[in-house]
A and B are shown apart, each in its own frame.
Chain A
Amino acid sequence: AQTVTQSQPEMSVQEAETVTLSCTYDTSENNYYLFWYKQPPSRQMILVIRQEAYKQQNATENRFSVNFQKAAKSFSLKISDSQLGDTAMYFCAFMTYLGTYKYIFGTGTRLKVLA
């Protein structure tokens, strides 16, 4: 069975500093996708970044980048130059094809950016 673990329920970071959110997963599949989603307070969940498992290069999107370690089954999110608007719940998610596409979300990390 596939599992996604986010071991940091809450984190805080000073504005303009860098923070890293951890995510580990377990799967016996070789082909899959990993995602980080952001859920701001009282707002809709949006995709932050996506990584295909077959790609060795780590994905980046502006201030957001990932450290994808396939052998270690680790997928951490780094937020550089943190902004107050980054305050949100962050969910790590895993997707693979097992006859149909299966999606599993972690329990989330609540990030607070401090002014």
Chain B
Amino acid sequence: AQSVAQPEDQVNVAEGNPLTVKCTYSVSGNPYLFWYVQYPNRGLQFLLKYITGDNLVKGSYGFEAEFNKSQTSFHLKKPSALVSDSALYFCAVRDMGAGKSTFGDGTTLTVKP
């Protein structure tokens, strides 16, 4: 069975500082990993994905994620946080055969001015 863990319920950073939202995964085969963001009263929006290739993946809104196979991690990063980045972030792993994704519990990111 596949799973993802987001060890932090909440991350607080000051605007302009770098941010990291952590995710670790467990899969039996190749990992297909995703990050989504959810703003209040909205559905989830796709940010980026790792399928294969470069370990550093770039996505929307200046976000990037670093895939680390030895640590089974896929941390989301941004060099300079914006107040508008404040939202709920989900890491997910997809079973490419069944098409179903397993989501982490989510991390609330708060960026303070």
Does A associate with B in a complex?
no
